[in-house]
Chain A
Amino acid sequence: MNESSSPHRPLQADLPLAGEVKPQLELLGVTKRFGGVAAVDGVNLRVGKGEILGIIGPNGAGKTTLLNCISGVFRLDGGDIRWEGASIAGMAPHRVARLGIGRTFQIVRPFGSMTARENAAIGALFGSSDARKGPKEAFEIADQVLELVGLKAKAGRPVAALTIPDRKRLEVARAVATRPHLLLLDEVMAGLNNVEIDEALDMVRTVHATGVTVLLIEHVMRVIVGICDRAIVLESGRVLAEGEPEVVLRDERVIQAYLGERYAKRLRASGDEDGTN
């Protein structure tokens, strides 16, 4: 899977990279402003092929905005985004999708007038241009993908008849059906109960096992710790911390950003009493 045969030259030496992997996706000083507010402010990020990277951060930290920058929904106000070494900044969303960058929406957005199978087929019919398919094959791919996410039995149902967890599965199915090399998941676990989260985790692992790089936004820490190789923390549009999930989540600045300064102090005090941690 890896393409590490070519010599890897670090562009930003201070950024750690999981393994000696050539970055598949690289963000260089990515900035997006709305009026005077910088929702994403000079974010540097490298994602290696085959990685599962988690993005966490408090509400309004710019997580979804960052995904919108990558998928071409927003034009950048500064910086550059490189895919397999070539700049994709300013590219139209459908072109980014055809390069093999699939995504889901935080609030699910299925094609409401269609069945689950048709939704997935639309993804297969368009999507990655290096594996373009005709309608017949697209429906075959749709069936495979629906089986992968556990929706096979409900393939023929209209979207309106699906439960919320099932709609989230469908959202992932449609993105996976585009045969992405990189999958951007925007809070696919939000609003699910524990059992459903376990199922969703299995689903992400299964998709990842087919060779897909995964970049996911999540508030559920169990998910971040459970499947991510690496996590970055965004706060006010900047990268606050980056590293192994367990380490990042114990970072005092991260706790402060999430829970406030006083809580962080109290936690530090209690940690001192314990003598460890």
Chain B
Amino acid sequence: MADTMTTEMTHEEAANNRAMFGFWVYLMTDLLMFGVLFAVFAVLHNNTAGGSSGRELFKLKLALIETFLLLTSSFACGLAMIAARQGNKNQVLAWFTVTFVLGVAFLSLELTEFGQLIHDGNTPSSSAFLSSFFTLVGAHGLHITLGLLWMVIVMAYVLARGLSSSMVRKLTMLSLYWHFLDIVWIFIFTIVYLRAFI
């Protein structure tokens, strides 16, 4: 009896590991895509076509606030995962709500920045620098948007069906995705924003 229990557990564990590895492979290919966008930005960031450079356009304080929002959101997501492993459904929902709210705050700041830039005539078609900027930061923003959408769906599932082990696996994937976006943002903050002020 104990033996069959053990093999069943390892079966499930093995399936779990396979799924997590598959998701990890997806994350790495996504990272590769961001790497290419970073390369494009690194090559084009001086090509302002006579327009404004990053130093004149970016507000460093805003980028710092965005970074702190995303870092805190990532931390809240981690706390949600601890609660998930302990099977505490209410805490999971609470921490994911915090994660979600912080993510929305980040996204709205980013969209405000984009809106301001475009309003002032600094559109993606103004220069190669701005094209690559909007592509890189926009791609990250799009990932955040999809993550938020995913978060709502997963939270609805948790609310309806509770925390089964497959649900915990889905939550783990979501948290991996969220932490991953945090890491990508750190490089955007450093290479796009901080570098402009050197």
Asked if A pairs with B, the answer is no
Q: A: which residues have CB within 8 A of B?
A: none
